[in-house]
Amino acid sequence: MSTPRIPGQQDAPAGRWSRRGVLAVLGAVPVAAALTGTASGAARAAEGGTAKTRTLKATVTPEGNGTYGVGMPVSITFSHAVTRKAAVERAITVSADSGVEIVGHWFGDTRLDFRPKTYWAKGTTVTVDLALSGVRAGDALYGTQAESRAFRIGRSQISTVDLKKERMTVVRDGARIASYPVTGGDSEHTTWSGIMVISERLKETRMQSSTVGLGDEYDIADVPHAQRLTTSGTFIHGNYWTAASAFGHSNGTHGCIGLHDAKGGADEDTAGYAFYAGSLLGDVVIVKNSGDKTVVASNGLNGWNLSWKKWKAGSALA
């Protein structure tokens, strides 16, 4: 039996991802933290206390009080479609102690991301203030949340994967710290190109071909060191089932980026272990020479693929 190849999709419940699915929201990204809140008196009074009044709830990525990579945007998803985008965007303030300009961009009616023109500077503290209480977001739709959170940007780490050379170079704070042989998508299952941000980290996860529309080709329950790059299922992960000689010499996956690893993920001398151990949520992974088009900006936390002009044009306050 031939050894199965992995496209990089974790087992998912209802609404499984397809690699080519272009998703407008990130509600399933586990690093998000729900900001619940209860219906405020102002919202109820605005509709005369009728049962038709709906409460808008916001879910913010990333969580507060953590340390993240320089590519981490602020991504907010809403429980209902927002039709009064300017009012909602005006009620949300994202600021940095560095004083850099930060602008919002709408991906559809339920997702609003914020980022600066270029990656955050290391050591930056980013604060997110929600002043949504009583804000009318749509027909009989009102916000209730009034709260603040902050997170910190750690060291800068930018990893560039060149799939023509089958190698990834890791640069931390401007200095090259590692170079790893990799394997990427084959000619029939190419890897997205472009700038991607690590949005989820799993020491071990299950990957099944059925979740990406490939039938029952494989089902591997213990894929080590998996880090998500797109909502639709692209990961950079450890791979123990492919011969070590393949890394750096051939692209043979169904779309993911594979690093040599050991079964169980306990071998500290493998590339898969080392890269995972040195990574943060929000770290940047740039893929080039993949033979595929640039990943859609809304497919993951990947808004960096939009120019600053296009990003600013997506603000309701432009």
pLDDT tens per residue across span 148-163: 999 999 999 999 999 9
DSSP conformation letters of 195-218: EEE--EEEEEEEEEGGGGT-TTS-
Report the 10 Å Cβ neighbour count for 82. 25
pLDDT at site 38: 38
Reported as a pLDDT band with limits 50, 70 and 90, residue 13 is: very low
State the pTM of this model. Answer: 0.84
User: Does the pLDDT value for residue 16 go beyond 90?
Assistant: no
What is the C-alpha to C-alpha distance for residues 302 and 284, in angstroms, rounded to an integer?
9
User: Does the pLDDT value for residue 18 go beyond 80?
Assistant: no
What is the C-alpha to C-alpha distance for residues 160 and 168, in angstroms, rounded to an integer?
5
Average the pLDDT over 168-189 and give the result.
Answer: 97
Task: Give pairs for 37-41: CB < 8 Å, separation 24+.
Answer: 37/144, 37/145, 37/147, 38/144, 39/142, 39/144, 40/133, 40/134, 40/142, 40/144
For 118-155, the three-class secondary structure string (H helix, E strand, C coil) is CCCCCCCEEEEEEECCCCEEECCEEECCEEEEEEEECC
User: Does the pLDDT value for residue 255 go beyond 60?
Assistant: yes
Which of helix, strand or coil describes residue 285? strand
Reported as a pLDDT band with limits 50, 70 and 90, residue 51 is: low
